[in-house]
Amino acid sequence: MTNLLSPPTPRPASGPRRLGFAWRCLGTVLLATAPLTLTGCINAVAMTYKVLKGDPVTPAAYKVRNGVELTDGKQIVAVVVDAPYSALNIHDSLVVDLQDEMLRRFRLEGIATADVDEVSRQLEDRGGQFDPTAIAQNMDVDLIVHVQVERFSDTEPGGGNFYRGRAESMVRAFEVRGERGSSDRHVVETFQQDVLTLHPETYPLPADQTPRRVFMQKFVNRMGGDIAQQFYDVTTSQLF
């Protein structure tokens, strides 16, 4: 016989009620773990986009303005770097190091480059003064890239004993026209661009924990990359 006074046995929650409770639990878990997983989700989306669409490419500023592709190796490029004494007092091999880094990156991208020693001889013959017309008349080149470092510093202003590189450079390119040896061989300036380099971009580095030689090498290499990338396409992954 059934006991009429005993409480009824609880019944399991119905389907919709069980689902609602489950979704609330899942929502709580997602909210709790969102800060930990957001970065991973963004990275996963970026990687998926890269796989499906390819790494986004930023076209070279020089190509955009002139419609000339330099990475096919059909044009020979000469590179000249100048820097003020104030910059050389900070890093005495800045001119050579920056030129070498630009040439290295050019060659990696398939850009044909002129002989460095011959470019140096052309400068020495004119007392170190940059003369694009003389270079064009005496060398087999198609484009002359001139970098004038205007400002160069390696410490944070008023920041105490910290390293943070800042460089401002004027980049110009001169297209060589006319056959070599002809009287009408001349140059035309076809490109001009200000380039700002910061290293590191986010925060200064404690000088007592960072070897100066290592910092300066990375800083100048970053300068070389920022300037050289004006002349060839770069992917998003190359920018970081």
Place of tokens 């020979």: 76
Instruction: Please count the other Cβ atoms lying within 10 Å of the Cβ belonging to residue 71.
Output: 17
Residues 6+ apart with CB under 8 A from 18: 12
Q: What local confidence, expressed as pLDDT, does residue 40 receive?
A: 47
The one-digit pLDDT tens for each residue of the chain (240 residues) are 444 444 445 454 444 444 454 445 444 433 444 443 444 444 554 455 555 566 799 999 999 999 999 999 999 999 999 999 999 999 999 999 999 999 999 999 999 999 999 999 999 999 999 999 999 999 999 999 999 999 999 998 776 799 999 999 999 999 999 988 888 999 999 999 999 999 999 999 999 999 999 999 999 999 999 999 999 999 877 665
Supply φ then ψ for residue 186, to 5 degrees.
Answer: -155, 175
Distance from C-alpha of 14 to C-alpha of 22, rounded to nearest angstrom: 12
Instruction: Please count the other Cβ atoms lying within 10 Å of the Cβ belonging to residue 21.
Output: 11
Q: Quick check: 113 and 78 in contact, CB under 8 A?
A: yes
- DSSP classification of residue 238: G
Strand partners for 79: 145
Report field, pTM of the whole predicted structure over 0.75: yes
Q: Quick check: 154 and 91 in contact, CB under 8 A?
A: yes
Place of tokens 């330099």: 70
Query: Alpha-carbon torsion 173, 107, 110, 77, what sign?
Result: positive
Q: What local confidence, expressed as pLDDT, does residue 236 receive?
A: 74
User: What secondary structure does DSSP assign to 168-201, as a single string?
Assistant: EEEEEEEEEES-TTSTT-EEEEEEEEEEEEEESS
Q: What local confidence, expressed as pLDDT, does residue 37 receive?
A: 42
H/E element, 55 = none
Q: Quick check: 78 and 231 in contact, CB under 8 A?
A: no
